[in-house]
């Protein structure tokens, strides 16, 4: 049983490394990194040159009836925070997650909020 978990985690790490080799955030175009757990979803805009978080948004900051709606609202919230800092371009980092469901909702919310990928 434990070997199966190790293999799964190694595959997850390899997907993250593959994604991160292609995605890099700068001050003008930060990396929009998504994290989701079973109960929560969060997004960070990261400047990889300086190693700093430019803006972040969590689902605990928004009110929505469903988890899908919360993900959409989190994307819109991070877009609002970045637009307040006059940042309109971002690079989307989905980490090891598939681009569907909640991750896609976050991206759609960020686009609706005014960000360009």
- Digit-coded pLDDT (tens) for 96-111: 899 999 999 999 999 9
Task: Check pLDDT > 60 for residue 70.
Answer: yes
Position 87 scores a pLDDT of: 94
Compute the C-alpha angle 35/59/45, nearest 5°: 50
Going from the N-terminus, what domains does the chain have, and what CATH number goes with each?
2-113 (3.30.420.100)
Q: Can you tell me the distance from the alpha carbon of 91 to that of 86, in angstroms, rounded to the nearest whole number?
A: 15
- pLDDT tens column, 19-59: 888 888 888 899 999 999 999 999 999 999 999 999 999 99
- For the entire predicted model, the pTM comes to 0.86
The predicted pLDDT at position 1 comes to 55
Cβ-contact 75, 113 below 8 angstroms: yes
pLDDT in tens, 85-97: 999 999 999 998 9
């Amino acid at each position: 049983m434990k070997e199966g978990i190790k293999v799964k985690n190694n595959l997850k790490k390899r997907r993250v490394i593959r994604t991160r080799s292609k995605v890099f955030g700068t001050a003008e175009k930060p990396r929009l990194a998504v994290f989701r757990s079973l109960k929560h979803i969060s997004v960070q805009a990261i400047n990889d040159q300086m190693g700093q978080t430019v803006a972040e948004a969590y689902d605990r900051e928004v009110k929505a009836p469903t988890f899908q709606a919360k993900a959409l609202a989190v994307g819109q919230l991070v877009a609002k925070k970045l637009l307040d800092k006059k940042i309109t371009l971002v690079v989307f980092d989905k980490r090891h997650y598939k681009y569907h469901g909640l991750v896609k909702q976050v991206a759609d919310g960020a686009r609706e909020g005014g960000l360009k990928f």
